[in-house]
Amino acid sequence: MKNKILKIITFLVFGIGLSQTPISLETAIDKAFKNNLNLKSGALKINYQEKMKNSAVVIDPLNISAEIGQMNSFYVDNKFSVNQTIRLPKFYSAQKTLLLEEWKNSLLNLDLQKWQLKREISLIYNELNYFDGKKKLLKKADSIFTQYFQRADLRLKKGESNLLEKATAENLRSQAEMQLKALEKDREIAIQKLSFLINDGNLYQNENSKYEILNFETLDVNYAGNPLVLKQLEQEKNIQNAKLQTEKAKLNPTFNIGYNNMSMYGNGADNKFYERSARFHSGMIGVGLPIFNSAQKSVIEAQKVNQQIAENNYQLGLVNLKNQYLQNFGQFQKLNDEVSYYQKTGLQNSESILKTGNNQFYNGEINYLEWTLLVTQSFDIQNKYIDRLKELNDKIIELNALRN
C-alpha cells in the first residue's frame, strides 16, 4: 500500500509512474463504499454508539468507610459502613433512550456520508467524461491549425503570403497546444480526486465512452425534500427531546441504603459487659431530595431552546432542499433547451461552417482572415455544446441526489 501511495504522489508531481485503470461509475462507487476513509470513520462511530448503549445504567460507586475511636465510651471501638446511592428507574430509562437515539443518528449519518460520496464521485466521473470530450475537440482543432500553419509556412517561403498569415497560424496552433496541456493537468487532478475517494491504492480513470446526456429520473416541481436528509434532521429532534427528558429525570429523588457494623467494648445499656469480639449491626435508608435545583432547572430551560433549534433546523433544511431542487430544476430546463438546440441544429451548422470554410479557403475564394473567423466560430459552437452538456449532466446528478 505504501508503494502504491508513493507512486500516486510521483504521478501527481511528474505525471508518470503509475498506470490508470479504467473503471465504471458503478464499480467506483462500490469500491469507495468499501474503502473510503470517511465511511470507515462513520462505521467506527456506529460501533462506538453500539457499545455506549450498554452504559445507560451506570450505578453510583459503592461507598465503604471505616471508623475507629472513642465512639461509645472511654474505650476504643471500630465501625464499618457500606452505603449505596440508587436512582429511580425513570432516570436510567431516559439515559437508555438518549443513547439509543444517538445510535440511530450514527446509522443515518453513515447513510448520509454514502449519499454524499456517491454524489461527489458522480460529479468527478462526469468531469472526466467532459475532459475526454473536450480533448477530442482540441485534438481536432490542433490538427487543423497545424495543417494550416504548415501551409502558411510553405506559402511564406514561396512568397505567396506575408508574415502576418504565418503568425496567425502559429498563434492558433499554440493556443490549441496550451489548452490541451492545461486540460491534461486538470484531468490528472480529477483522477487523483477519484482515486482518493476510492482509496484502495490504485489510480483510476473513467471508461472511454461517448459523452452524452446522463439518465435522469422523472423530475417534479412538487418536490417534498430528500428523505434521507429529512430523516437525519428528524432524528436530531428526537435526540434533543431525549436530552430534555434526561435532564428532567435528574430532578427526581435518589435513594441511599446502608449497612453499619460496630464493636462496643464495655458495659452496654443493658448493663451487660461486652468483649471486643461482640459486633452490633444497623441498617440505614435515606432519600436525596434536589431542593437546591435552580441550576438544573436552568439546564432544562436551555435544553428546551435546543429543542426549538432542532425544530427550526428541520424546517430550514426542508426549505433549503426545496430551494436547491427548484434552482437546479430551473437551470436544468434552461441547459436542456440549449443542449437540445446544439444537438438538433448547432452542431450541424458548426460542421457546415467548418467544411464550407475549408473548401472556400483552399479554392482561394476567401482569405486566411475570413477562414480564421469561420473556423473559430465553428469550434466555438462545439466548445459551448460540450460545456453546456457538462453543466447539464452536473444538474442531473444534483437533482437525482436531491431526490434519492
Whole-number pLDDT of residue 14: 45
Q: What is the mean pLDDT of the chain?
A: 88
Inside any domain, residue 330: yes
354, part of any domain: yes
pLDDT of residue 15: 47
Rg for the chain, CA atoms, rounded: 38
SS3 177: helix
Instruction: Say which residue, 91 or 3, is predicted with more confidence.
Output: 91
Name the strand (E) or helix (H) holding 399: helix 368-403
Question: Quick check: is 138 in a domain?
Answer: no
What cell does 21 get?
485503470
Q: DSSP class of residue 187?
A: H
Q: Provide the percentage of residues in the chain whose pLDDT is more than 70.
A: 91
* Helix or strand run (H / E) with residue 273: strand 273-274
At residue 270, the pLDDT reads 80
In a domain, 326, yes or no: yes
Q: How confident is the model at residue 220 (pLDDT cuts 50, 70, 90)?
A: low
Q: What is the 3-state secondary structure (H, E, C) of 161-175?
A: CCHHHHHHHHHHHHH
pLDDT digits (tens, 9 = 90+) for 284-302: 999 999 899 999 999 999 9
Closest among 52, 75, 49, 79 to 65, alpha carbons compared: 79
- pLDDT band for position 111 (cuts 50, 70, 90): very high
Structural domain boundaries enclosing 357: 214-227+240-252+301-404
Residue 71 falls inside a structural domain: no
How many angstroms separate the Cα of 230 from the Cα of each of 103, 311, 319, 325, 396? 17, 11, 11, 14, 21
d(CA 377, CA 24): 35
Q: Which DSSP letter does residue 15 get?
A: S
> Of 153-167, 197-211, 315-329, 353-367, which range is least confident?
153-167
Is 224 a residue whose pLDDT tops 70?
Answer: yes
Q: What pTM does this model have?
A: 0.84
Strands (E) in 215-318, as ranges, are 254-263, 266-267, 273-274, 279-288
In a 3-state reduction of DSSP, which class is residue 258?
strand
Check pLDDT > 80 for residue 162: no
Residue 107 covered by a domain: no
Q: Is residue 308 part of a domain?
A: yes
* DSSP notation for 334-388: HHHHHHHHIIIIIHHHHHHHHHHHHHHHHTTSS-HHHHHHHHHHHHHHHHHHHHH
Other beta carbons within 10 angstroms of residue 299's beta carbon come to 15
Structural domain contains residue 265: no
What is the mean predicted confidence (pLDDT) over 34-44?
95
Q: Residue 288 pairs with which residues in a beta bridge?
A: 254
Domains identified in the chain, total number: 1
- Band (331; pLDDT cuts 50, 70, 90): very high
